[in-house]
């Protein structure tokens, strides 16, 4: 018999009316008493409910081993034997699979105790099948999550507000050629950021807030081998309920090749622009050989028009187009006889008709030089006027390209303010007055305003 508990003797009356077999019957677990040869000696009602076997079928007839899943049987037989020899060698409780009368496999949490000097064992089992199924589902989700994160080509990293790694995925380890063990727990910023970058990055991470938890940034990092790499990172900050920053997650991809290509492209565009510029300037110079009085005119117009285009906030392409078209806008004058070009006094209408054709000639010449910008069109329109009073086509308003509207104002300012032997010097002040006076009629108001602004307020000089 097992050792009596002190309950009934120390506190008389407390167990009154409760038999020990009541406890066996109603403890809430499936209880069974098993003989050393594994025969089920006694079982309770819960056992019947859980296994689907009746008392009659099992008591004194069935081996307890028939209820155990074959994969768990070896371990359990060993426990059964050990429990008799030395109970401390067997876990107090453990999970195993049992098979019910219908062949269904269920999970049980088993507690065993030896009785009757080791000749019998009391086994209590609680059905934990639902709990195990939930646990398996959770493990599958975790496995799925782990698989997704680890097989990503993106670099995924999480770290504390003190910049200590808490998570890195395989791609991150491969990228920096370091093991997970080396990375976890080490200071993130000091590891991969160039010294000058550390403070900048700390400031950037501190700028993330509950209102703006996500931010994107391009960063330069150094790998273990000292190679400089560029990455695009999407950073997300996580906060606790009080709004304190708890963790930051960064997902990044390497953009070094893209970065180098765009740098190369920028320098190629710069070189192209320079060679176009040279070709256009050469074309522009042809006319200056014929017409020395206008020598330097186009270059100076380009300088004014470029400054105006920048101050107007035009796009980089529009600025380049304005400058390049300005450099050769009068090249068509090569087709105008020099007597007409340098004729002092009033021109005859036939001569005037020839002069008015020079934007057309300029555009024809510029059309032969292939560039990414429509310089021919801009040169064609440089004598058009905002109110439609210009030539050759009498275009007006926004039908005239913005580069041509800017060029027109710059052209007038330069022409009026520079010296010509066949007329008295007009000067910059009168040139600007002409622009002011023609603002909104002959000249685009925005182009006129910006010209007056850069000359009068910003001290621009030709
Ligand atoms: Fe012109």
- CA of 297 from ligand 1 middle (Å) equals 10
- CA of 289 from ligand 1 middle (Å) equals 16
- CA of 382 from ligand 1 middle (Å) equals 7
DSSP letter for each residue of 186-251 = SBHHHHHS-TTHHHHHHHHHHT--SSS-EEEEEEEEE-TT--EEEEEEEEEEEE-TT--EEEEEEE
How far, in Å, CA of 164 to CA of 379, rounded? 61
Neighbour tally for 435: CB within 10 Å:
21
- CA of 193 from ligand 1 middle (Å) equals 56
The residues near 402 (Cβ < 8 Å, ≥ 6 apart) are: 312, 314, 318, 444, 447
What is the mean predicted confidence (pLDDT) over 401-405?
98
Return the beta strands (E) in 116-160 as ranges.
120-127, 155-159
The pLDDT tens digits of the residues spanning 267-292 come to 887 887 778 778 877 877 777 777 76
- CA of 101 from ligand 1 middle (Å) equals 104
How far, in Å, CA of 402 to CA of 449, rounded? 14
The pLDDT tens digits of the residues spanning 313-368 come to 999 999 999 999 999 899 898 888 888 877 777 888 899 999 999 999 999 999 98
What is the mean predicted confidence (pLDDT) over 179-195?
74
- CA of 333 from ligand 1 middle (Å) equals 8
Band the pLDDT of 154: cuts 50, 70, 90: very high
- CA of 378 from ligand 1 middle (Å) equals 11
Q: φ and ψ at 366, to 5 degrees?
A: -65, -25
Evaluate if residue 81 carries a pLDDT over 70. Answer: yes
What is the mean predicted confidence (pLDDT) over 383-397?
96
- CA of 449 from ligand 1 middle (Å) equals 21
How far, in Å, CA of 436 to CA of 368, rounded? 36
- CA of 383 from ligand 1 middle (Å) equals 6
- CA of 459 from ligand 1 middle (Å) equals 26
- CA 247 to chain centroid, in Å, comes to 18
- CA of 132 from ligand 1 middle (Å) equals 88
H/E stretch holding 35: strand 30-35
- Predicted pLDDT of residue 8: 45
Domain 152-254 annotated CATH 3.30.450.20 = yes
- CA of 284 from ligand 1 middle (Å) equals 12
DSSP letter for each residue of 325-362 = HHHTTTGGGGGS-HHHHT--SPPPHHHHHHHTTHHHHH
How far, in Å, CA of 99 to CA of 107, rounded? 9
Domain 260-457 CATH (choose: 3.30.70.2700, 1.10.645.10, 1.10.3210.10, 3.40.50.720):
1.10.3210.10
- Predicted pLDDT of residue 4: 45
- Predicted pLDDT of residue 310: 95
Within the chain, all domains assigned CATH 1.10.3210.10 are found at 260-457
- CA of 218 from ligand 1 middle (Å) equals 47
Q: Write down the CATH number for the domain with range 7-132.
A: 3.30.450.20
The residues near 58 (Cβ < 8 Å, ≥ 6 apart) are: 40, 43, 47
What value does the mean pLDDT of the chain take? Answer: 87
> Per DSSP, what are the bridge partners of residue 232?
218, 253
What is the mean predicted confidence (pLDDT) over 71-98?
89
* Angle at alpha carbon of residue 6, lines to 2 and 12, rounded to 5°: 130
Structure tokens at 434: 């002409």
Structure tokens at 326: 């300005």
Q: What pTM, to 2 d.p., does this model score?
A: 0.49
What is the mean predicted confidence (pLDDT) over 109-136?
89
Higher pLDDT, 178 or 380: 380
The pLDDT tens digits of the residues spanning 232-268 come to 999 999 999 998 889 999 999 999 998 888 888 888 8
- Predicted pLDDT of residue 293: 67
- CA of 290 from ligand 1 middle (Å) equals 15
- CA of 102 from ligand 1 middle (Å) equals 102
Band the pLDDT of 7: cuts 50, 70, 90: very low
Structure tokens at 85: 């020899």
What is the mean predicted confidence (pLDDT) over 134-155?
90
Number of H helices, E strands in the chain: 20, 10
- CA of 273 from ligand 1 middle (Å) equals 23
Evaluate if residue 44 carries a pLDDT over 90. Answer: yes
* Angle at alpha carbon of residue 407, lines to 311 and 321, rounded to 5°: 75
Higher pLDDT, 115 or 309: 309
- CA of 275 from ligand 1 middle (Å) equals 24
Structure tokens at 138: 């959770």
Within the chain, all domains assigned CATH 3.30.450.20 are found at 7-132, 152-254
- CA of 357 from ligand 1 middle (Å) equals 10
How far, in Å, CA of 235 to CA of 163, rounded? 13
Structure tokens at 262: 């765009």
- CA of 408 from ligand 1 middle (Å) equals 8
Q: Which of 410, 363, 402 is nearest to 386 (CA)?
A: 402
- Predicted pLDDT of residue 286: 77
What is the mean predicted confidence (pLDDT) over 383-391?
97
Higher pLDDT, 148 or 455: 455
Evaluate if residue 129 carries a pLDDT over 70. Answer: yes
């Amino acid at each position: 018999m097992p050792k009596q508990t002190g309950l009934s003797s120390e506190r008389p009356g407390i167990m009154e009316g409760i038999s020990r077999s009541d406890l066996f019957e109603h403890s809430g677990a499936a209880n069974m008493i098993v003989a050393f040869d594994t025969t089920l000696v006694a079982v309770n009602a819960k056992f019947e409910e859980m296994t689907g076997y009746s008392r009659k079928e099992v008591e004194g007839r069935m081996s307890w081993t028939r209820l155990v899943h074959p994969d768990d049987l070896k371990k359990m037989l060993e426990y059964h034997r050990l429990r008799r020899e030395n109970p401390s060698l067997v876990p107090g409780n453990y999970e195993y699979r049992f098979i019910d009368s219908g062949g269904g496999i269920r999970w049980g949490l088993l507690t065993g105790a030896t009785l009757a000097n080791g000749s019998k064992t009391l086994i209590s089992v609680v059905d934990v099948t639902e709990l195990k199924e939930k646990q398996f589902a959770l493990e599958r989700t975790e496995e799925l999550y782990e698989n997704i994160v680890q097989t990503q080509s993106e670099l995924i990293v999480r770290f504390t507000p003190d910049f200590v790694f808490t998570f890195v995925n395989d791609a991150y380890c491969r990228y920096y050629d370091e093991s997970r063990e080396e990375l976890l727990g080490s200071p993130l910023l000091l590891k991969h950021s160039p010294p000058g970058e550390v403070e900048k990055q700390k400031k950037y991470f501190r700028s993330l807030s509950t209102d703006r938890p996500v931010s994107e940034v391009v960063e330069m990092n150094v790998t273990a081998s000292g190679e400089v790499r560029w990455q695009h990172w999407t950073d997300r900050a996580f906060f606790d309920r009080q709004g304190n920053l708890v963790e930051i997650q960064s997902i990044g991809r390497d953009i070094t090749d893209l970065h180098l290509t765009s740098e190369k492209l920028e320098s190629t565009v710069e070189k192209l622009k320079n060679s176009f510029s040279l070709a256009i300037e050469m074309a522009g110079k042809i006319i200056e050989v014929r017409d020395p009085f206008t020598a330097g005119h186009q270059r100076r117009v380009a300088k004014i028009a470029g400054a105006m285009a920048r101050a107007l906030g035009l796009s980089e392409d529009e600025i380049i187009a304005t400058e390049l078209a300005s450099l050769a806008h009068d090249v068509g004058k090569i087709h105008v006889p020099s007597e007409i070009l340098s004729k002092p006094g009033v021109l005859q209408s036939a001569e005037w008709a020839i002069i008015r054709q020079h934007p057309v000639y300029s555009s024809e010449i510029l059309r032969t030089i292939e560039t990414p910008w429509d310089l021919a069109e801009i040169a064609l329109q440089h004598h058009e006027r905002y109110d439609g009073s210009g030539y050759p086509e009498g275009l007006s308003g926004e039908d005239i390209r913005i580069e041509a509207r800017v060029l027109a104002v710059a052209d007038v300012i330069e022409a009026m303010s520079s010296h010509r032997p066949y007329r008295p010097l007009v000067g910059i002040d009168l040139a600007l007055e002409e622009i002011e006076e023609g603002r909104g009629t002959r000249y685009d108001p925005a182009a006129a305003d910006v010209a007056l602004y850069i000359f009068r307020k910003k001290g621009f000089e030709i």
